[in-house]
C-alpha cells in the first residue's frame, strides 16, 4: 500500500510531526519510520533503521531533521535523543558482499523489511522514504523526501547514518589508504584516486561501475532502443574498458 487511509489528509504546513499526528487521529498507532544509509556508497555496508517515536512531548526530539542536513556533532546529539526517547528502534547491517549478491535495490528493500521485523513494538502503520516496501504485513506510505517531512523517518535516517558512519570509522583503521574516515565509502575524487592507486579492498562493492573499471571487468552500458513501431526499450550491454 502507498496511500494514506481514505479521508485522511496532511497539510503541507503540518510540520515534521504532522503525518504521525494525522495517523494517530485515524487510530493508526504506533507509527514506524524506516530509512537507510549507504545505498550510494561503493564501499562498506548498507545500514537500515526503523524507529517508533512515542506520542506527546517525549516524542518531540530536539534537533531532529534529515540526517543529511545535520552536522556530524548534531547527528550524534539527535541520535542520543532518538534512542533515549523511542518506544522501539532497530538497526540492520547488510554487508557489501550481500549487496553485491542481491543488487542494491533488492538489498535496500530487504534491509528495510528486516529492520521493521526486529522492532520490539509492532507498528500499525509504516512510513518509508522514497519508495514503497512490499511485504510489511501492515499498511504504509512512501513519502518523497520523507526524511524531511516525517519525524519517524528522520529519526530512522539519523540512526542509520550515525551507525554506518561509526562502522566506516572503525573500518578506516583496517584500510587507512582509502580514507574511509573522510568519505565513508562514497565516490569522491580522493576515494577514486585511492581506488585507482591501490585497487579495491574486500569492502568494495564489485557491482559498482567505478570498482569494475579498476578491476578491468566489463561495465554495463544502458542503451535506449526504438523499434520500427516506435516502442522504446532499454538494452544492457557489457563493455570492456
| Residues 121/30, Cβ–Cβ less than 8 Å | yes
Whether residue 54 sits in one domain with residue 158? yes
125: domain range?
A: 18-171
pLDDT at 5: 72
CA distance 198 to 206: 15
Whether residue 53 sits in one domain with residue 74? yes
* Burial (Cβ within 10 Å: 0-12, 13-18, ≥19) of residue 103: exposed
Which CATH number characterizes residue 121's domain?
3.30.420.10
pLDDT at 129: 92
* Paired residues of 234 in beta bridges: 224
Whether residue 188 sits in one domain with residue 166? no
| Residues 151/63, Cβ–Cβ less than 8 Å | no
What is Dmax (Cα atoms) for the chain?
62
| Residues 100/206, Cβ–Cβ less than 8 Å | yes
Whether residue 146 sits in one domain with residue 195? no
Whether residue 131 sits in one domain with residue 27? yes
pLDDT at 150: 96
Report pTM: 0.88
Whether residue 101 sits in one domain with residue 35? yes
pLDDT at 220: 58
pLDDT < 70 stretches in the chain: 1-3, 7, 218-241
DSSP run (H or E) holding 46: strand 46-52
Q: Which three cell numbers stand for residue 179?
A: 580514507
pLDDT at 235: 40
**Preceding omega of 30 cis (within 30 degrees of 0):** yes
pLDDT at 186: 97
Enter the DSSP assignment of 12: T
Amino acid at each position: 500500500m502507498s496511500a494514506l487511509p481514505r479521508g485522511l489528509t496532511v497539510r503541507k504546513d503540518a510540520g515534521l510531526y504532522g503525518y504521525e499526528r494525522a495517523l494517530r487521529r485515524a487510530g493508526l498507532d504506533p507509527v514506524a519510520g524506516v530509512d537507510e544509509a549507504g545505498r550510494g556508497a561503493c564501499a562498506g555496508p548498507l545500514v537500515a533503521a526503523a524507529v517508533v517515536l512515542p506520542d506527546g512531548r517525549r516524542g518531540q526530539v530536539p534537533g531532529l531533521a534529515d540526517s543529511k542536513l545535520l552536522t556530524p556533532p548534531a547527528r550524534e546529539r539527535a541520535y542520543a535523543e532518538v534512542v533515549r526517547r523511542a518506544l522501539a528502534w532497530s538497526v540492520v547491517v547488510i554487508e557489501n558482499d550481500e549487496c553485491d549478491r542481491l543488487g542494491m535495490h533488492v538489498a535496500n528493500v530487504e534491509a528495510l523489511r528486516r529492520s521493521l521485523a526486529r522492532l520490539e513494538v509492532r507498528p500499525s502503520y509504516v512510513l518509508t522514504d522514497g519508495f514503497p516496501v512490499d511485504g510489511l504485513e501492515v499498511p504504509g506510505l512512501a513519502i518523497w523526501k520523507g526524511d524531511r517531512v516525517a519525524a519517524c523517518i528522520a529519526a530512522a535516517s539519523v540512526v542509520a547514518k550515525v551507525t554506518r558512519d561509526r562502522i566506516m570509522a572503525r573500518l578506516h583503521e583496517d584500510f587507512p589508504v582509502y580514507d574511509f574516515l573522510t568519505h565513508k565509502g562514497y565516490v569522491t575524487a580522493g576515494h577514486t584516486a585511492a581506488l585507482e592507486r591501490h585497487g579495491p579492498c574486500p569492502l568494495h562493492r564489485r557491482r559498482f561501475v567505478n570498482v569494475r573499471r579498476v578491476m578491468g571487468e566489463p561495465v554495463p552500458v544502458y542503451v535506449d532502443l526504438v523499434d520500427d513501431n516506435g516502442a522504446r526499450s532499454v538494452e544492457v550491454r557489457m563493455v570492456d574498458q
